[in-house]
Amino acid sequence: MSGDGKDQATDQVRQFTVEADDDGVRLDRWFKRHLPQVGFGTVSRWARTGQLRVDGKRVKPEDRIAAGQVLRVPPGGEDGGRTQRGRRELTEAEVAEAEDMLISRTNSALVLNKPPGLATQGGTKTKHHVDGLLDAFAGEDEQRPRLVHRLDKDTSGVLLVARTAGSAAFFSKRFSGRSAKKIYWALIVGVPEVREGTIEAPISKQPGSGGEKMHIDTENGQPAKTVYRVVERAGNRAAWVELQPFTGRTHQLRVHMAAIGHPIVGDGKYGGQEAFLTGSVSRKMHLHARRLIIDAPKGEMIDVTAPLPEHFAATMEQLGFDENLSDAGPVATPPPERSKEEKKQAARQHAKQYRKARRGERKSRGVSTEKKRPGPKPKGAR
């Protein structure tokens, strides 16, 4: 969820930009995901009276929204006179699980270290998730904490949760405005020829995947930019990289690294069998949200680092990597913008080389002795 809401969310008209993860969902479902304190009755009334708009047009609660559209949400409605959603009583084990994730607490936010394998939000087949554990942090007279961004189920690391509606709007604005700095650590297969570079390749949902998989789409994809830096290498077998996304597309880091021929270790969805290292290296995905730097209300700053999960730390040790070689420092300023034609050319090159690599993979299936083909080189090297 991206938002322009002010800190006093109940007093200001708010605007939210629909993220890729919410593409195609019903409007009432979007409210349930991102503004659960606003009831269906309030959403219906706002729609009926024309106060709720999508791209400036009137909408109905059952209408489906698309990524990139802008929602205008009127002030108020946080309670609407209704009782707050009943809190689910957590078991002792669930409370302990939630508390084990907590690495920082401020007046405005909770910062969690999400373990791999735990979904951020629930779904039809997902009953155990971070959102379902947040009642563990709400006292009797406190609001229920709210998610303001998400991590993939198999990605570990820093996850910020807002403690109030006002702080949720504040943090959403920072994430959507890209002023929040997120630095990931990843282990990748092979070693990029260019030690530092920028990957610019638009991303969209892959047809036929049911929205479960993304791909490079030079014609209709949404712009996506990732900066990477190789921290250390283990011969030609693998490398440890820092990744900093400047856009927030679904599976962006995973798609971009696979597109340059160096999938994230353990990411079979985008790297196929080549994403798994031989030997005793864990088959879990090695992508970790290492550090988050973000402004907080009242002029404060949150700067937090999340320890590595057990499998990631073990692989680092196996490959001889020293954690002290990286402080997960962000790029000071975004790389200079390319011209529109340069972006198109780079995206076409990424797509062409990605398709070439995939064709090579299909040809080599069942031939374990064939030498691995080199992946495409990243554009925009710095």
DSSP letters for 180-207: SEEEEEEEEES--SSSEEEEE--EEEPT
Which pLDDT score is estimated for 366?
46
C-alpha closest to that of 247 among 222, 267, 264, 230: 222
Q: Give me the domains of the chain, ranges plus CATH numbers.
A: 2-73 (3.10.290.10), 94-174 (3.30.2350.10), 181-363 (3.30.2350.10)
Determine the pLDDT at residue 371: 39
**What is the pLDDT of the chain when averaged over all its residues?**
85
- Pairwise CA distance, residues 43 & 73, whole Å: 9
Query: What is the percent of the chain with per-residue pLDDT over 90, rounded to a whole number?
Result: 57
Average pLDDT over residues 203-232: 92
**Distances from the Cα of 297 to the Cα of 132, 164, 175, angstroms:** 25, 11, 14
Question: What pLDDT is recorded for position 91?
Answer: 93
User: pLDDT digits over 294-306, tens only?
Assistant: 999 988 999 999 9
Active-site residue (options: 4, 152, 154, 217) = 152
Would you state the pLDDT for residue 123? 76
Residue 6 is encoded by which pair of tokens? 């002010």
pLDDT of residue 44: 86
Give backbone dihedrals phi and psi of 93, rounded to 5 degrees, phi first.
-65, -40
Q: Which of 52-56, 283-287, 308-312, 338-342 has the lowest mean pLDDT?
A: 338-342
Q: Tell me what pLDDT residue 138 has.
A: 86
Considering the entire predicted model, what is its pTM? 0.71
Residues 317-335, mean pLDDT to the nearest whole number = 85
Share of the chain above pLDDT 70, in %: 81
What integer pLDDT is reported at residue 346 of this predicted model? 62
For residue 374, the model assigns a pLDDT of: 46
Q: What confidence tens digit (pLDDT) does each residue in 339-372 have?
A: 566 656 666 666 666 566 656 555 544 433 333 4
Q: Is 152 a catalytic residue?
A: yes
pLDDT bracket for residue 9 (50, 70, 90): very low
* Cα distance between residue 216 and residue 19, in whole Å: 17
**Rounded Cα gap, residues 204 and 142, in angstroms:** 39
- Position 86 pLDDT exceeds 80: no
pLDDT at site 103: 97
DSSP assigned state of 246: S
